[in-house]
Amino acid sequence: MRIGIFDSGVGGLTVLREIHEALPQVDIVYIGDTARVPYGNKSKETIVRYSVELSNFLLGRGADVIVVACNTASSYSLEILEDRLSVPVMGVIEPGVRAALKLTKNRKVGVIGTLSTVNSNVYQKLLKKQGVDVVAKACPLFVPLVEEGLLKGKVAESVIEHYLSNLKSSGIDTLILGCTHYPLLKGLIGNFLEGVSVVDSASVIAQDLKDCIGNHGGRGELEIFFTDISPNLKELVRLIVGKDVGFQLADLEAIKTST
């Protein structure tokens, strides 16, 4: 059993980390599309094309299940991938919604994410179908903030205040972090939104996988690829995964021509 995970960049490593902790014996192959990050401000057509390319790369590396660890890609590509691929495909949207529905008491839930994720209305539709009131807010600066390693301090606080002030007064009791970068700001967001339960989908996905496949064989191997390697990538990977892990460059041209 080999789990394939893709993301637009490094954010999906928060999902890798949770899965690896829940299923330490299972092999994982990850690809982050750092050459083309961010996806959050790209069009649907572009995001779907990239998602298909990355999924095929993971299948080529022996993945038996694909986790789309990117909310933007999950919003736009999940159904198409489920149609086209012969292996199970898991997104991050439905697990996040499920976690929020378990926690909310007043049936008022907030969702934050990239512009594309929020504009796609996917979270809002799923939650409203369950009779829940939704307040959604795009927070485009959160991803660069995390990638800059600014996880605390004045800048992070002023950015959080800028985006979340309206949510604070909206009466929500639960907030979904609709972007895989955001768990790294979870502490600060929780402090700012006192009394609000802050949920992300990574732990739910890890639990789902555990229920489905158990801790099947393998050696707990982590194979991590990026489509571009920038000078500060090593530090960023260590920051997110919580330990030093190796990674290698994936040839983007080969990825594109193989589809």
C-alpha–C-alpha distance, residues 179 and 183, integer Å: 8
Of 63, 65, 70, 205, catalytic: 70
Shortest distance in whole angstroms from residue 20 CB to its own copies: 25
Of 141, 151, 213, 239, the residue at the interface with its own copies (CB under 8 A) is 141
Token pair for residue 255?
């990825």
Residue 219 exposed, middle or buried by CB count within 10 Å (0-12, 13-18, 19+): exposed
Cα 131 to the chain's mean position, in Å? Answer: 25
User: Going residue by residue from 231 to 250, which x/- string records binding to its own copies, judged by CB under 8 A?
Assistant: xx------------------
Known active-site residue 70: yes
Of 47, 68, 176, 179, catalytic: 179
Strands 89-90 and 133-138: unpaired
- 166 binds its own copies, rule: CB under 8 A: no
Stretch that binds its own copies, among 71-79, 97-105, 150-158, 206-214 (CB under 8 A): 150-158
Nearest Cα neighbor of 28 from 56, 84, 60, 66 is 66
Cα 189 to the chain's mean position, in Å? Answer: 17
Of 158, 166, 191, 259, the residue at the interface with its own copies (CB under 8 A) is 158
Which residues within the stretch 81-140 sit at the binding site for its own copies (CB under 8 A)? 115-116, 119, 140
Q: Which is nearer to its own copies, 213 or 233 (CB)?
A: 233
Residue with tokens 């192959």: 29
Cβ atoms within 10 Å of 251's Cβ, excluding its own:
12
Strands (E), 86-207: 89-90, 108-113, 133-138, 174-177, 197-199
Q: Which is nearer to its own copies, 4 or 9 (CB)?
A: 9
C-alpha–C-alpha distance, residues 133 and 106, integer Å: 9
Of 21, 79, 161, 251, the residue at the interface with its own copies (CB under 8 A) is 161
User: Going residue by residue from 171 to 210, which x/- string records binding to its own copies, judged by CB under 8 A?
Assistant: ----------------------------------------
Residue 44 exposed, middle or buried by CB count within 10 Å (0-12, 13-18, 19+): middle
Q: Which is nearer to its own copies, 36 or 98 (CB)?
A: 36
Relative orientation angle of helices 13-22 and 233-241, to the nearest 10 degrees: 40
Stretch that binds its own copies, among 199-207, 212-220, 223-231, 239-247 (CB under 8 A): 223-231
Q: Catalogue the active-site residues.
A: 70, 179
Residues that bind its own copies (CB under 8 A): 34-36, 41-43, 46, 115-116, 119, 140-141, 143-145, 147-148, 150, 153-155, 158-159, 161-162, 228-232
